[in-house]
Chain A
């Protein structure tokens, strides 16, 4: 089996700061995703990528940038952290073919002070 590793696990930033979250997968999956998880709001897609150097905007891409440097890694940048923002960011990957499940990392918990 494979694993998705997200770093850091906890991230504390200041208002207006640019923050980067990293994700690595060893499934050799083509497709990777970034989701934001807020209590009561489910999983909201920020960006996804179907192959190296590809980027597709999700429903919540404003305020974020992403980069798929290589097949195994997908990073997310919060361009300007908002004060009192608290959320968990989940990275995921899938083979991208029919009926295949998505595998998730454990998340990065962001707090903005």
Chain B
């Protein structure tokens, strides 16, 4: 079946250092869109990035991700983590042929001074 795997439940990084949140997927659909959602404390999840193009880098708010269909991955990266990046991050895939969206379990990012 279709699924999204985020291997780290918690990632802790020091401010100013790079950070990478892993996301891999399994899907039977041929055409899919991928998203990273971010949820700040006591807020609703919101879209951070989205992509449906293989091997194309997508950037927003200093974060970037590249969809690699060859390795079934859509990792999220930032070159310099900020304290304000501390939040819960979800990777998600959305098949273009139906209304289901599959979320990973989420990765809690903690940025320390």
Q: Please list the residues of chain A having a beta carbon within 8 angstroms of any beta carbon in chain B.
A: 4, 31, 33, 35, 40-43, 45, 48, 50, 56, 90, 94, 96, 98-107
Please measure, in the bound complex, the distance between the C-alpha atom of A50 and the C-alpha atom of B101, giving whole angstroms. Answer: 13
A50 to chain B: which residues have CB within 8 Å? 99
Q: Is the CB of B94 within 8 A of A99?
A: yes
B46 within 8 A of A: yes
B18 within 8 A of A: no
- Pick the residue among B9, B46, B47, B100 that contacts A48 (CB under 8 A): B100
Given A48-B100, A96-B99, A98-B31, residue A42 in contact with residue B106 (CB < 8 A): yes
Q: Is the CB of A90 within 8 A of B45?
A: yes
Given contacts A4-B44, A101-B50, 6 further A-B contacts (CB under 8 A): A40-B9, A48-B100, A98-B96, A100-B94, A101-B35, A104-B45
Interface size class of B (residues with CB under 8 A): 20 to 34
Q: Is the CB of A40 within 8 A of B105?
A: yes
Given A99-B96, A101-B35, A101-B50, residue A42 in contact with residue B45 (CB < 8 A): no
Please measure, in the bound complex, the distance between the C-alpha atom of A31 and the C-alpha atom of B109, giving whole angstroms. Answer: 30
Q: Which 7 A-B pairs have the closest CB atoms?
A: A42-B105, A98-B96, A104-B44, A43-B103, A101-B47, A99-B33, A31-B99
Chain B's interface: helix, strand, loop or mixed, by majority?
loop
Name, among A33, A42, A45, A103, the residue most crowded by chain B CB atoms within 10 Å (CB to CB): A42
Closest to A107 in B: B44
Please measure, in the bound complex, the distance between the C-alpha atom of A50 and the C-alpha atom of B35, giving whole angstroms. Answer: 20
Q: Please list the residues of chain B having a beta carbon within 8 angstroms of any beta carbon in chain A.
A: 9, 31, 33, 35, 37, 42-47, 50, 52, 90, 92, 94, 96, 99-101, 103-106
Q: Is the CB of B94 within 8 A of A106?
A: no
Please measure, in the bound complex, the distance between the C-alpha atom of A101 and the C-alpha atom of B10, giving whole angstroms. Answer: 25
A42 to chain B: which residues have CB within 8 Å? 90, 103-106
Please measure, in the bound complex, the distance between the C-alpha atom of A10 and the C-alpha atom of B75, giving whole angstroms. Answer: 34
- Pick the residue among A35, A90, A99 that contacts B52 (CB under 8 A): A99
Closest to A31 in B: B99
Closest to A43 in B: B103
